[in-house]
């Protein structure tokens, strides 16, 4: 796959039923299972449940989910999501996950850049990323997109009996 150099290489589209196969594949990836709250042994139909959660959130304004698509061939590369939207506080927690075959070519950076633009265009005043400590690639994506490391919540990420640090990044509309 070619390297993504600008917005022409990747586009975001609202998550829909046509992305369930891609969501199921993401849930099976060991790196996704390690660095997100996706369970290590996802149940059958996990992709559909994931989609339904974002569809409900889109309806009630508490979440938003987008597929990261290759703008050239239309293939599913991953997701860019607003995990939590708080309109009263004008803030959101964002996240992104890439399929293994899409990593290393700038798709996560471009997906997060577009998601960040979406959040600010929506009127949000604070965007936050929470990155599992060992996930160095995700930290680099946050930094390339202008997010500032605010701090580390030590030993707060807990999943299936394991603990690790959680790195908190944020971006405000005036950040350059």
List the domain boundaries for the chain.
10-125
**CB neighbour list of residue 160: distance below 8 Å, 6 or more residues apart:** 39, 40
Per cent of the chain over pLDDT 70 is: 95
Q: Look up residue 130 and give its two tokens.
A: 């929470």
Tell me the average pLDDT of the chain: 93
pLDDT (0 to 100) of residue 8: 61
In tens, the pLDDT along 113-152 reads: 999 999 999 999 999 999 999 999 999 999 999 999 999 9
pTM tops 0.85, yes or no: yes
In tens, the pLDDT along 9-43 reads: 999 999 999 999 999 999 999 999 988 889 889 99
Q: Which residue has the higher pLDDT, 103 or 157?
A: 103
pLDDT at 5 over 70: no
Average pLDDT over residues 63-83: 96
The CATH number, out of the four listed (3.90.550.10, 3.30.565.10, 3.40.50.10280, 3.40.630.30), of the domain defined by the range 10-125: 3.40.630.30
CB 82 within 8 A of CB 103: no
């Amino acid at each position: 796959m070619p390297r993504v150099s600008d917005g022409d290489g990747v586009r975001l589209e609202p998550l829909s039923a046509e992305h369930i196969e891609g969501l199921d594949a993401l849930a099976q990836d060991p790196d996704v299972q390690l660095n997100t709250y996706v369970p290590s042994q996802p149940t059958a139909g996990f992709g559909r449940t994931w989609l339904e959660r974002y569809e409900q959130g889109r309806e009630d304004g508490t979440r938003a989910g987008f597929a990261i698509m290759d703008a050239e061939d239309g293939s599913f590369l991953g997701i860019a999501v607003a995990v939590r939207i708080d309109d009263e506080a004008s803030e959101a927690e964002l996240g992104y996950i890439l399929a293994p075959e899409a990593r290393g070519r700038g798709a996560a950076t471009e997906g997060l850049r577009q998601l960040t633009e979406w959040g600010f265009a929506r009127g949000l005043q604070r965007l936050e990323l929470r990155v599992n400590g060992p996930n160095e690639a995700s930290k680099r994506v946050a930094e390339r997109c202008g997010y500032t490391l605010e701090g580390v919540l030590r030993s707060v990420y807990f999943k299936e009996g394991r603990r690790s640090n959680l790195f908190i990044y944020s971006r405000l509309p005036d950040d350059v």
